[in-house]
Structure 1
Amino acid sequence: MTAEDTAARIARWMDRAAPDLDDFAAIAEKAWAELPDEFRALTGDVEIRVDDFPTDEALDELGLDSEFDLLGLFQGVGLAHAPAVAGTGQMPNRVWLYRRPILDYWAEHEETLGDVVTHVLVHEIGHHFGLSDDDIDAVEAAAD
């Protein structure tokens, strides 16, 4: 790499800040939009939300000690367990993406931020489909 190449790489990063929640939501929307149409159609009306960290209740429910241990979460009734008619007062199905843990993971790995967000999004949608972590890992291994 030439000195010019190095200077250009450094210049790209000198004035950048970490993406805020609005930026992160836009990254998630782009990741969603780039998924295959057939896949998105199967998800139904799942909402995609972003926040800095999971709630204490979510961490307690999953038995996690650190808010950095959870990159995303599916909340709701998965398609495999959904009744034919939604009950009154039933909350919508949601996929949560947690900005700070995802950024922490991204900083430690050799993937683009967009790839990490897409991976977490697809993983959580897998839970919406009723798949376990082991099922999702097997699907990902087969795809690789």
Structure 2
Amino acid sequence: MDAKTFSGLVSRALDNLPDEFLDLLENIEIAVEDYPSLRQRHGSKRNELLGLYEGVPLTERDTHYGLVLPDKITIFQKPIEAICKTEEEIIDQVEKTVRHEIAHHFGMTDAQLDEIEQRWSKRY
């Protein structure tokens, strides 16, 4: 998939978020990269990381939070494509990855998200 089409999927995933979440996304940059950098991987393999939130979650901000660079969510195209067999799977995985990284922005941990995703998959 070309980079422009993939970026469009990320934009569409953001557009599909409920307004009450979109309204809380302030001072945050959303980026698309082919692969995570060595620094971003933190020891994981090149294709393991699908997305990454870098910043201060809303739950950890206090009255002294201000005049800071934007938080950043990066979605990694090639690792997502590597685990998907069809375009429909890519679309679904992009949606899931965007929601996952935004949940980190709202203060949720990977353990909490894993638990939610396990309960969700048992229903469907």
Q: CA RMSD in A?
A: 2.0
Question: Structure 2 unaligned runs (5+)?
Answer: none
How many angstroms apart in 2 are the aligned matches of 1:124 and 1:69? 15
Q: How far off its partner does 1:110 sit? A: 9.8
Q: TM-score if structure 1 supplies the norm length?
A: 0.74
CA distance in 1, matches of 2:55, 2:36: 15
Match of 1:41 among 14, 23, 43: 23
Asked if 1:101 is matched to 2:83, the reply is no
Q: How many residues matched?
A: 121
Task: Answer whether contact 1:43 1:129 (CA < 8 A) is retained.
Answer: no
Measure, in 2, the Cα distance between the counterparts of 1:46 and 1:28. 14
Alignment of 1:78-93 (within 5 A): 78-88=57-67, 90-93=68-71
Question: How far off its partner does 1:142 sit?
Answer: 4.0
- AA partner of residue 132 (structure 1): T
1:56 pairs, out of 31, 34, 38, with 38
Report how far residue 87 of structure 1 moved. 4.1
Distance 2:5 2:53 in 1: 21
Deviation at 1:22, TM superposition (A): 1.8
1:30–1:142 distance in 2 versus 1, CA, 3 Å: same
What CA distance in whole angstroms lies between the structure 1 residues aligned with 2:5 and 2:88? 18
Aligned counterpart, 2:115: 138
Provide the residue aligned with 1:11 in structure 2.
Answer: none
CA contact (8 A) 1:71 1:98 kept: yes
The residue aligned with 1:120 is 97
Residue 105 of structure 1 aligns with an amino acid whose one-letter code is I
Please report how far the alpha carbon of residue 114 of structure 1 lies from its aligned counterpart in structure 2 after TM superposition. 1.4
